[in-house]
Amino acid sequence: MAFGADELRVLRRALAHALHPTPLDDEDVQDCHRLAGSVDEAVREAGRLRAFLFADLARYRDALPGSASGYLDLLQDALATGYDPRPEDLAALRGLRHTAQGAALLARCQVLAEQSVRARLAGQRTAPPAWSATARSRTRLLALPGGRAAADPPKPKPAPSSPDTPPAERPVPKPSEVFPPRRRPAAPPPEKRAAS
């Protein structure tokens, strides 16, 4: 994002006011509002351009292999804007790794995809629970003495299974109990073998 000379003057005055608060006149306040509006519009425009670039990238990816050179160039531009390569990008690049640009982009995208997965997993591990602080304070710990586990009466142990126990509660038999091993027939005595 580039600022013009007038915008830089307004930005400098706003920063000076943030560091050393002094009363602002109406003109300075209006200038700050205009600058904030311009920055917001530039951010919205950058978002629209990114969305267009990503949609264009998907169209080129769907038209592969005929659009290989355009797809690789667009992917390079998208990566420069912070695009996270998707699984379909990695699959497309595997088909284009016979070119030097395709092989280089595949290696780069594999590294970026791995970093993205690690960052997401680290974020899941360190992210606080989604419930509010009031709900958290009302939750009782079950593992500590005096918690709900201590208040609950002990559960009776299940009785051994009997033939009239419903099938859902019977233990599952082992295969060796259902299908006993077959025994080989005993060999006939030697004298009968000689006679026959």
Find the range with the poorest average confidence among 112-116, 139-143, 160-164, 188-192. Answer: 139-143
pLDDT band of 136, cuts 50, 70, 90? very low
- Mean pLDDT to the nearest integer, 124-132: 50
Query: What's the confidence (pLDDT) of residue 110?
Result: 92
> Does residue 144 register a pLDDT over 70?
no
83 CB-near residues (< 8 Å, 6+ apart): 53, 54, 57, 75
Query: What's the confidence (pLDDT) of residue 189?
Result: 66
pLDDT band of 108, cuts 50, 70, 90? very high
Query: What's the confidence (pLDDT) of residue 147?
Result: 43
Helices (H), 20-99: 26-62, 68-80, 87-95
Q: At what angle do helices 26-62 and 68-80 cross, to 10 degrees?
A: 150
Question: Which of 18-27, 81-90, 118-127 is most confident?
Answer: 81-90
66/111 Cα distance (integer angstroms): 26
- Mean pLDDT to the nearest integer, 130-153: 43
pTM above 0.75, yes or no: no
Burial class (CB in 10 A: 0-12, 13-18, 19+), 79: middle
Cis, peptide link before residue 65, omega less than 30° from 0: yes
Q: What percent of the chain has pLDDT over 70?
A: 65
